[in-house]
Amino acid sequence: MVTMNERQDFEKAVRASDTERERVAKLVSAAAGEGRLSIAEADERLERIYTTRFRHELAEFVDDLPDDTRRTAPARFPVRLRVHAAVAMVVSVMLILRWVAMDVPFFWPAGPMFVLWGSFLLHALFVRAGGVPPWARRESS
- Separation CA 63–CA 131 (nearest Å): 34
Q: Model-level pTM?
A: 0.44
Neighbours of 88 (CB within 10 A): 19
* Amino acid symbol at 64: D
Contact yes or no for 63/22 (Cβ under 8 A): no
Contact yes or no for 98/42 (Cβ under 8 A): no
Q: What tens digit of pLDDT does each residue of 67-116 get? A: 765 455 555 678 888 999 999 999 999 999 999 999 888 999 999 999 99
Burial class (CB in 10 A: 0-12, 13-18, 19+), 105: exposed
